[in-house]
Amino acid sequence: MVGTASTTSIKQFSCPTCSGRIEVHAVGQSLSAACTHCLTIVDVSSPELTVLQKFKENTKKLDPDIKLGTKGHLQGVDWRCIGIILQTDSTECWYWVEHLLFNPNKGFRWLVENQGHWTLFKKTKYKPKKEGQTVNIYSKNYKLYGADESKVVMALGEFYWRIKVGEKAKTKDYINPPEMLSMAKTSDDVVWSIGEYVTRDQVEAAFKLKNILPLPRGVAPHQPSPHAQSIASLAKYAMILVAALMLMQFFFSMSSKDQTVYQHVFRANERTPGTEQIASTPFTIKNGISNLEVRANANVNNNWINLGMTLINTDNNNAINFDHEVSYYSGYDSDGSWSEGSPSNAKMLSSIPEGNYILTVDPSNLEKIDPPEVSISLHRNVFFMGNFWIGLIALLIPPGISLVRRHMFEVKRWEESDYSPYSES
Amino acid sequence: MFFAKFYLIAGSVLIALLSWANFRGYSIWDSLTPNVSPGRYSRLGTTFHK
């Protein structure tokens, strides 16, 4: 029954219940060990090997993904898994597995698996400073995520306290992704641990496991956001691009001349005999290709005119047809005076090449206004904002979408928390 | 990071295209209006016909 001291740093004992082999790697530090065969928990701190807890023969055994005794290299340190605990919460609906890792020089760490997400915890001797639902330790703030009770359901291997299946602890978890600060309070002690999120790939690589570990489900409380870095980069580039867009628009405004190329008052009695059209005199547009703004002004007072216009290039007979409505209405009602429309209206034609032109106007309702005439002027190389606004919206869409995705990730992060900043209450 | 770099390149191309459109007098928004249509005309006396 008494264990034999090994020539290495491992001590071996015979289990008092089933005589199975119990190994202790953290000699002098582990106080209890659970037999892997019959699950009996034995006090290994004294030669008497007092039985702390016994279990029925057919008690279901834990079958962890990382087996007891597995060695791994995680975060630059060699570890051996010397203890495994299955824990549950107060509802007994959530279960998680905690692996006790040991390195003779570094001591103990806990590698915890919960819903496929992994965290490497280290005990901290410092107590954090509390500020409402936030705590501060090592100059970092951690927000309260959850408060509950944990219960040990099953244990395998050795532990640095006298573990007991069924023992409970009051727990509180605080987060500052990718870190989690956990508090476990028993009748004897309060233990604070800081955990860092470790990916499934990192754990698989560390313990040389392939496709064994469960896939992550949902978002872990302290899981780093995959959008955080992309948001920062997108925001930086968006600022650069918007600045470039504004600079471009500034230079455009400096170069816009707003030249008047033609101006005429079209009267109703000037219609070409036999037609509805009024034709302008020929005019010339110079200086390459640019926009052309057609401005119409008429004395419409609670009335309207519609101008069916055609700009004809007499060099090649290419033409552009467009309609131009000028209307203005005003009055009084219970809310006061109102107005709709304007006696002036402008229409932009894009990319009009230089050349010789004629403008024909086919007016409707012109005779019904007083005087029955419309002043039309054509302006070349006019400043406009349309392309700027389209560019600005297009540039802001990707960072906008990233912001929304980041927000949705954060909402999902806090979904299981009673202290969610996104809850409606 | 790849998406951010792609965004920078695509955004730069967009600004270059908008600059070209501005200096050619091409307004994307006004070009979407349904009331402008191209055509060809022939002169008949002093009137123009489609």
pLDDT tens sequence across A69-93: 999 999 999 999 999 999 999 999 9
Residue A292 to residue B25, Cβ atoms within 8 A: yes
Closest CA to A245 of B10, B5, B15: B15
Residue A357: per-residue pLDDT: 95
Distance between B20 CA and the closest CA of chain A, angstroms? 10
* Predicted local distance difference test score (pLDDT) of residue A114: 94
* pLDDT tens profile A234-266: 999 999 999 999 999 999 999 998 999 999 999
Each residue of A2-35: pLDDT tens digit?
A: 333 333 478 888 888 888 888 899 988 999 999 8
ipTM of the complex: 0.82
Answer whether A245 sits within 8 Å of B31, measured CB to CB. Answer: no
The vertex-A289 CA angle with A285 and A295, nearest 5°, equals 55
B13 touches chain A (CB under 8 A): no
**Range A92-111 average pLDDT:** 94
CB atoms within 10 A of CB A35: 24
Of A255, A279, A348, the CB nearest to B30: A348
H or E element at residue B15? helix B2-23
Beta-carbon separation of B1 and A275 below 8 A: no
CA B10 to chain centre: 19
d(CA A163, CA A153): 11
In SS3 terms, A123-179 reads as EECCCCEEECCEEEECCEEEEEEEEEEEEEEEEEEEECCCCCCCCEEEEEEEEECCE
**Closest Cα in chain B to A292:** B25
DSSP percent split of chain A into helix, strand, coil, nearest 5 = 15, 50, 35
pLDDT at position A277 is: 85
Size of interface A-B (CB pairs under 8 A): 125
Residues of B within 8 A of A289 (CB-CB) are 24-25
DSSP A381-411: S----HHHHHHHHHHHHHHHHHHHHHHHHHH
Chain A residues with CB inside 8 Å of B36's CB?
A: 320-322, 349
3-state class of A26 per DSSP? coil
Interchain contact, B39 vs A249, CB within 8 Å? no
Predicted TM-score of the model (pTM): 0.76
